[in-house]
């Protein structure tokens, strides 16, 4: 790995974090589901019924711009866009039978609190075969039949339904890599003396990132000064982001490609500083597989200026 590149995994990603930290942090075994702070599945009082989850491994609905040929058979294939994902879970509400009415009421109140109406999305995480994937979603339906069985045995077959506006499912651990500006190797100093001092290694300003999923992922980019006109290019699809502004030492420009925001020092929008040819932020994605990125600037401090890329691998 070239000098000046630092990589880590499992680091929280700001645009996808909740108060509970990483998605699925409470999950301990296959078949468990975590919604916000509520754990569902084996080992809990909310059993997953035989029907399990629907809408989780299925593809979301698709919108397309296909067009039929006006004077011929068939049509022309257009662009396909995924619709929001709807996930439905069939559960058995099954509090401890030895706990009495108090245990049943406590479990019911916990379910009510976790599935209350909210404007904000939270993580819905599912673990299957050792893999935990998560979507940001909101509860859109909760059904708990209050029939004779529920009153007599405190058992009820409940239904929960979530809607995720972003249909992609993300790995639970975020990835992050930081790369500096290109730096030439100093080479040998003359006159030569033994032992030879080759100096410190150079840096290319390039880094390869991997989206291990099957869907494009939107990264969170952070440019740190001092540098002038920071630029990050994606060699996989030929897109780049570049901003005509000067970052002094300690300045930070944060680009959220999912939300399409460009914030200077966390407050002021600088989206309008995008240069001609710079891609719309929402179209700068990491395709499945490996992508080579290059950090450049018109000028900058090779020791301090950097670009940080944070992302989660995404699955359909």
Any idea which residue has 């058992």 for tokens?
A: 155
Confirm whether 11 is domain-assigned: no
| 4 found inside a domain | no
Give the pair of three-digit tokens for residue 144.
Answer: 């708990």
Given a contact cutoff of 8 angstroms between Cβ atoms, the answer to whether 312 and 16 are in contact is yes
Asked, for residue 92, whether it belongs to a domain, the answer is yes
Token readout for 134 is: 């998560």
Report d(CA 208, CA 163) in Å as an integer: 34
Do 180 and 162 lie in one domain? The reply is: no
- The CATH number of residue 178's host domain is 2.60.120.860
Inter-residue contact 144 to 82 (CB < 8 Å): no
Return the structure tokens found at 272. 């309008």
Specify whether 146 is located in the same domain as 42. yes
- Give the structural domain span for 146: 21-59+81-171
Interval 231-288: pLDDT, tens: 999 999 999 999 999 999 999 999 999 999 999 999 999 999 999 999 999 999 999 9
Would you mind telling me the total number of residues written for the chain in this entry?
316
- 316 burial level (CB within 10 Å; 0-12, 13-18, 19+): middle
Structural domains counted in the chain: 2
How far apart (Å, rounded) are the C-alpha atoms in residues 265 and 252? Answer: 5
Residue 135, CA distances (Å) to 141, 221, 282 in order:
17, 21, 18
Instruction: Output the 3-class SS for 55-91.
Output: CCCCCCCEEECCEECCCCCCEECCCEEECCEEEEEEE
Domain-embedded: residue 197: no
133 burial via Cβ count (<10 Å: 0-12, 13-18, 19+): buried
Per the model's pLDDT, the better-predicted residue between 187 and 117 turns out to be 117
pLDDT surpasses 80 at 297: yes
Q: SS in 3 state form for 238-253?
A: CEEEEECCEECCCCEE
CB atoms within 10 A of CB 81: 12
Q: Are residues 146 and 207 in the same domain?
A: no
Same domain, 149 and 54: yes
307 three-state secondary structure: strand
149 in a structural domain: yes
Q: For residue 268, how many C-alpha atoms fall within 13 Å in the half-sphere facing its CB?
A: 8
User: What average pLDDT does the chain have?
Assistant: 88
* 147 in the same domain as 36: yes
**With 50 as the cut, is the pLDDT of residue 14 above it?**
no
Q: Quick one: pLDDT at residue 3?
A: 39
pLDDT of residue 192: 65
Query: Do both 152 and 180 map to the same domain?
Result: no
Write down the pLDDT at residue 190: 61
Q: Is residue 13 part of a domain?
A: no
- Statement to judge: residues 147 and 220 lie in one domain: no
Task: Output the domain CATH number for residue 154.
Answer: 2.40.30.200
Task: Please report whether residue 66 resides in a domain.
Answer: no
The answer to whether residue 201 scores a pLDDT higher than 60 is: no
Do residue 179 and residue 150 come from a single domain?
no
**Which residue from 77, 55, 50 is spatially nearest to 64, judged by alpha carbons?**
77
CB 300 within 8 A of CB 228: yes
- Let me know whether 27 and 93 are in one domain: yes
- Asked whether residue 2 is assigned to any structural domain, the reply reads no
Do 237 and 248 share a structural domain?
yes
Q: Are residues 230 and 104 in the same domain?
A: no
Please report the pLDDT score of residue 98 as a whole number: 79
As given in the structure block, the two tokens for residue 265 are 């020092």
Rounded to whole angstroms, the Cα distance separating 27 from 131 reads: 11
Q: Indicate whether 39 and 166 sit together in one domain.
A: yes
Confidence of residue 151 (pLDDT cuts 50, 70, 90): confident
């Amino acid at each position: 790995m070239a000098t000046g590149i630092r990589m880590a995994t499992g680091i929280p990603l700001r645009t996808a974090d909740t108060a509970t930290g990483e998605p699925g942090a409470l999950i301990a075994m296959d078949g468990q589901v975590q919604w916000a702070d509520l754990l569902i599945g084996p080992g809990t009082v909310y059993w997953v019924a035989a029907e399990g989850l629907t809408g989780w491994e299925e593809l979301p609905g698709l919108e397309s711009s296909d067009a039929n040929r006006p004077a011929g058979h068939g049509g022309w294939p257009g662009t396909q866009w995924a619709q929001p994902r709807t996930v439905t879970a069939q559960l058995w509400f099954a509090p401890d039978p030895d706990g009495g009415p108090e245990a049943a009421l406590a479990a019911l109140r916990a379910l009510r609190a976790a599935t209350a109406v909210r404007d904000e999305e939270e993580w819905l995480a599912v673990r299957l075969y050792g893999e935990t994937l998560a979507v940001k979603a909101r509860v859109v339906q909760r059904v708990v039949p209050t029939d004779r069985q529920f009153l007599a045995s405190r058992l009820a077959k409940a239904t929960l339904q979530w809607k995720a506006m972003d249909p992609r499912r993300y790995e639970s651990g975020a990835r992050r890599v930081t790369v500096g500006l290109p730096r030439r190797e100093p080479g040998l100093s003359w006159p030569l003396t033994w032992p030879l001092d080759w100096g410190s290694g150079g840096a290319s300003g390039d880094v390869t990132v991997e989206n291990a999923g099957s869907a494009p992922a939107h990264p969170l980019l952070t440019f740190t000064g001092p540098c002038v006109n920071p630029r990050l290019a994606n060699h996989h699809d030929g897109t780049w982001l570049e901003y005509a502004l000067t970052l002094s030492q300690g300045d930070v420009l944060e680009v959220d490609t999912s939300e399409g925001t460009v914030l200077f020092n966390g407050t002021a929008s600088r989206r309008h500083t995008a240069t001609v040819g710079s891609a719309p932020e929402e179209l700068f994605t990491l395709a499945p597989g490996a992508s080579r990125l290059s950090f450049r600037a018109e000028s900058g401090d090779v020791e301090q200026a950097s670009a940080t890329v944070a992302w989660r691998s995404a699955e359909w």
